Structure 1
């Protein structure tokens, strides 16, 4: 579209439509936020090695995340556990994706989203692509940004809520996490609508009641 031939008031020129890639990290964990990223790549500044963040080593992801933030345009959307519990994980993720696109410095012509669903409320046309992070570099870039940011947030959470091992499993339902959850009970960043967390909370209430009785 003509409006994007000179995107961002002259800071970037595109010979074709401006495409944003969108992906998320953190739908499966029992704790912590879901993080979404929207990325527009600068056609003048190539980035090598983009792809599915899960297929990359942590060191490679971190290096690419720095390069993406330096060379591309990034918008971030986050849904915290309270919103996940209130809306459910699907709708909270969709809301976070809309936030990520809205926080780009301009409106893209089109959005490519990893997965099989397009959220309502986007400011431009969009398409969902299954395994899009491995098929489209711009979605791969969004995958890397979302994954590295969420990992960093969970490492920080481990300092606020010691004993759960968030720095290792990042909130996913590993055996170590489930054991800590049953032993300690849920903490403020656990998703109370998830069955293992509810079970741990109920056990803690029962244990406290027995102790009082």
Structure 2
């Protein structure tokens, strides 16, 4: 990957209702030299769009390369400066030969489903799972990891203890504002933020909406364009397009009284409500095959919205 246009083209090939990972080639030097790795996220708070976890890694003795690229907390940089730095990570010889990176794009649908399911999976847990997965992915690719630096979610001591238990051979540092302290975390922050920005720029509405990212804004609840989108794009049956995190209170409150409320009750012949039985809802989406047994056939509704009982990852 050697341009931001290629990054956008790659994102366009993906189903944005599913999670996916974009990962660089591993620099050869990172397979032999002791390496440090940074972890940070972008898009934790927005009601629209994905959350992206980014990592960056390089040899411990190459920290000066990150500083020369201008790596700093992505939130303290302009969008143009972030794009410029990531482009250098793609094309600058010193960066390409010494710095690797990866990003996991976590879809709004996955976030909402995790928070709504019976055994709730909190946003902190989704975040930690992504960080752990990316660290493992890099280690399995042959990178000689020795140090890991993470911008915390939740209490840093608890997070650090968990990572240290999973990765006992690494020096683990979890800290608040790590992206403004450690250049390797700053690099990860830029990977995450720029990837999320470009995901929004090329967002394809599976529902058929023709709308530019300039019309729905940053996705943060305080953005006037985002507020307008949340207010105007309510469907009385389906609620919102998949760009929206249904589990966010901003969306939940807006839907109240404006979208249909559904309740599912099992009623006796005499009209009395019974306790729900234990019949699986999936049994309602099956059809008998030639020998009389039931064979599951997915309804068009689920296919068009990329809804599945399977894991959300490709």
The interval holding the TM-score normalised by the smaller chain is 0.7 to 0.9
Does the 8 Å contact 2:47/2:251 carry over to 1? Answer: yes
Taking the aligned partners of 1:192 and 1:166, their CA distance within structure 2 comes to 21
Does the 8 Å contact 1:76/1:99 carry over to 2? Answer: no
2:75 corresponds in structure 1 to 54
Q: CA deviation at 1:169?
A: 2.8
Identify the range of structure 1 (192-201 vs 159-168) with the bigger mean alpha-carbon deviation: 159-168
**Structure in which a larger fraction of residues adopt helix:** 1
Taking structure 1 as the reference length, what is the TM-score of the superposition?
A: 0.80
1:178 corresponds in structure 2 to 227
Query: Which of residues 148, 158, 162 is equivalent to 1:111?
Result: 148
Does the 8 Å contact 2:150/2:174 carry over to 1? Answer: yes
Taking structure 2 as the reference length, what is the TM-score of the superposition?
A: 0.56
Uncovered stretches (5+) of structure 2, i.e. residues with no partner: 1-25, 115-120, 235-239, 262-314
Taking the aligned partners of 1:136 and 1:25, their CA distance within structure 2 comes to 17
**C-alpha deviations, 1:42-85, integer Å up to 9, x for none?**
44571321110111111111111122244211122232223322
Find the structure with the greater CA-based Rg: 2
Query: Which of residues 255, 261, 264 is equivalent to 1:201?
Result: 255
2:124 corresponds in structure 1 to 90
Aligned positions, number: 198
Taking the aligned partners of 1:103 and 1:191, their CA distance within structure 2 comes to 27
Distance 1:168 1:50, change over 3 A: farther
CA root-mean-square deviation: 2.8
Taking the aligned partners of 1:94 and 1:107, their CA distance within structure 2 comes to 22
Does the 8 Å contact 1:164/1:180 carry over to 2? Answer: no
Q: CA deviation at 1:164?
A: 7.8
